[in-house]
Structure 1
């Protein structure tokens, strides 16, 4: 259960607002709570050059485009260094908010790591979308 903690008003559970955890619109409050918790911990132990690292593994795959963008803006506001393992469908949404893009691909038992630019990712996403449309016909 996630709790909303308004100042001087006690606590209110967020869970009743989002009774079905898999609903797309209900993922955002969960990640806001997680990010706020990281911020609180990092702020408590704040030093001049502290690493504010947050790692999400396919965290955004259940969010709609608007919530992904808002979550990424929130990460920027909090000055986090974020590593996101992100499904191909959300890549285009995340790219404008990050400085470094690395794609890890696997073919059989071989893995490949590529450092790519935002433009290359946009072209790759368009290519994959075109390929998926062609395959579904």
Structure 2
């Protein structure tokens, strides 16, 4: 049976941020904590060893694979800061055009520093991601 690696933990978000080596990245992590908390209304929780997540949803794929994941989140990684948004949003690509300096993966948006991006667009991305996931995976 497949074991989900990224699960919500009781680890301290503050302790995790304090352990970030790069001072600028640590400062950005605290700013993101405020932005995500204020925008989502959810308390920050650690998901796995390195993702700070907000809210959660339960997904189930046609393959039968299912699990829980944060609605949105971020991780101040060594190379870049990873921002986690739902990949299926229709407004996502449009918002990213005015977001600022970034690169993208399937569900991640990568930034070097918070100063490179538009905070208002970040808040919109958070809101749209949550809206998309709530519609796609309604609570039963």
- Structure 1 and Structure 2 fold alike (TM over 0.5): no
User: Normalising by the residue count of structure 1, what TM-score does the alignment of the two structures yield?
Assistant: 0.31
Report the structure number with the largest CA radius of gyration: 1
- Structure (1 or 2) with the greater helix fraction: 1
Structure with bigger RCO (C-alpha 8 Å, 6+ apart): 2
User: Normalising by the residue count of structure 2, what TM-score does the alignment of the two structures yield?
Assistant: 0.31
